[in-house]
């Protein structure tokens, strides 16, 4: 595991350049950080979505490690199968390597919604794999449709903003806590801005015995209508405003606030996260000011609750 910049430069990349993700997309950065945490032979099973489509345009692939394309809804089922197949081959003496890690990856659409049944089943069965969601807040690959991961107030092509509606009116699904409620050994939220925290958590996720879950915020300049150059700054603001606080949940019970969130004296106003994004533009009109205040209240409420769970003052 490399957690120093010098060592990171010397670690083999798992994703090559030349893929077709948009300029400034955080998803490839997230995959490269994941690559820094790997501990040996690894198989990735990936649900369809931007990352899958744009890194494997036939007949090319940007992936330098074994990688399986799976359907939208079953990344976790395929990862379970890959893990069990390796175990059986090892028992039969047909596989000698010490260990093979299995990672499933999905977008928020593929995780919060359509792949959730498959994910929940795999967690309940207890296969030893890591599931990572790169959460760009919508089904971006098919034209920015709202998902269970979309923030309230976010405008998408299925949660329009106008005089009648302020974008999505519902709250975001608390996916990390829902997953942790399966009493899995490890679940954590990460941001690509806090790269060292990211790599350490991903390595922990690989090392625990049983399923683990990593929830990465993944800025998307195309859908968020933000500057390509601002993605990593937005990944920082998401944490600083409490829109995506950083924490770990061990064994489904023990909450631990991570240092970047812990050292915040107070949250920045959500406006700082929203203003650079066209998808929240309508919230800065008189018509939707009240709804923006409502979102701030929800964020404050969630933050206070999280601090209590982490036993923070």
- Binding residues for ligand SF4 (CB under 6 A): 21-22, 25, 27, 50, 54, 136, 140-141, 220-223
Distances (CA, A) of 297 to 27, 223, 294: 29, 25, 5
Stretch that binds ligand TPP, among 34-42, 135-143, 206-214, 300-308 (CB under 6 A): 135-143
Range list of H helices, the chain: 5-10, 27-37, 50-55, 75-91, 108, 116-125, 175-180, 195-207, 221-224, 231-240, 259-262, 271-274, 289-309
Single out the residue of 38, 50, 190, 310 in contact with ligand TPP (rule: CB under 6 A).
Answer: 50
* Chosen from ligand TPP, ligand SF4, none, partner binding at 147 (C-beta under 5 to 8 Å by type): ligand TPP
* Chosen from ligand SF4, ligand TPP, none, partner binding at 109 (C-beta under 5 to 8 Å by type): ligand TPP
Q: Are 62 and 16 within 8 A, CB to CB? A: yes
192 lines the binding site for ligand TPP (CB under 6 A) = no
Tell me whether residue 48 or residue 277 sits nearer to ligand TPP (CB atom).
48
109 lines the binding site for ligand TPP (CB under 6 A) = yes
CA 267/CA 36 separation, integer angstroms: 30
**Nearest approach, Cβ of 107 to ligand SF4 (angstroms)?**
8
CA 56/CA 109 separation, integer angstroms: 19
72 lines the binding site for ligand TPP (CB under 6 A) = yes
CA 24/CA 232 separation, integer angstroms: 8
Binding site for ligand TPP (CB under 6 A): 48-51, 72-73, 106-110, 136, 138-142, 147
């Amino acid at each position: 595991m490399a957690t120093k910049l010098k060592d990171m430069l010397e670690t083999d990349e798992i994703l090559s350049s030349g893929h077709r993700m948009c300029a400034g997309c955080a998803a490839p950065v997230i995959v490269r950080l994941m690559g820094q945490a790997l501990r040996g032979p690894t198989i990735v099973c990936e649900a369809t979505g931007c990352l899958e489509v744009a890194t494997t345009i036939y007949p090319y692939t940007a992936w330098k490690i074994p990688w399986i394309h799976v359907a939208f809804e079953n990344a976790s089922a395929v990862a379970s199968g890959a893990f069990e197949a390796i175990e059986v081959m090892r028992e039969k003496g047909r596989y000698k390597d010490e260990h093979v890690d299995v990672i499933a990856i999905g977008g928020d659409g593929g995780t919060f919604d359509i792949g959730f049944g498959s994910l929940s089943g795999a967690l309940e069965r207890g296969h030893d794999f890591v599931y990572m969601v790169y959460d760009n807040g919508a089904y971006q690959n098919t034209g920015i449709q709202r998902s269970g991961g979309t923030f309230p107030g976010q405008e998408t092509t299925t949660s329009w903003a106008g005089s009648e509606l302020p974008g999505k009116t519902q709250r975001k699904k608390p996916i990390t806590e829902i997953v942790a409620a399966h009493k899995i050994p490890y679940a954590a939220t990460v941001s690509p801005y806090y790269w060292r925290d990211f790599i350490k958590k991903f390595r922990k996720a690989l090392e625990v015995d049983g399923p683990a879950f990593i929830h990465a915020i993944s800025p998307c300049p195309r859908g968020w209508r933000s500057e390509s150059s601002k993605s990593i700054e937005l990944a920082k603001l998401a944490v600083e405003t409490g829109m995506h606080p950083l924490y770990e949940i061990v064994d489904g019970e023990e909450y631990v606030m991570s240092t970047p969130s812990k050292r915040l004296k107070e949250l920045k106003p959500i406006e700082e996260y929203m203003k650079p994004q066209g998808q929240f533009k309508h919230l800065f009109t008189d018509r939707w000011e009240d709804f923006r205040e409502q979102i701030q209240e929800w964020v404050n409420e969630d933050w206070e609750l999280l601090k209590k769970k982490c036993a923070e003052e």
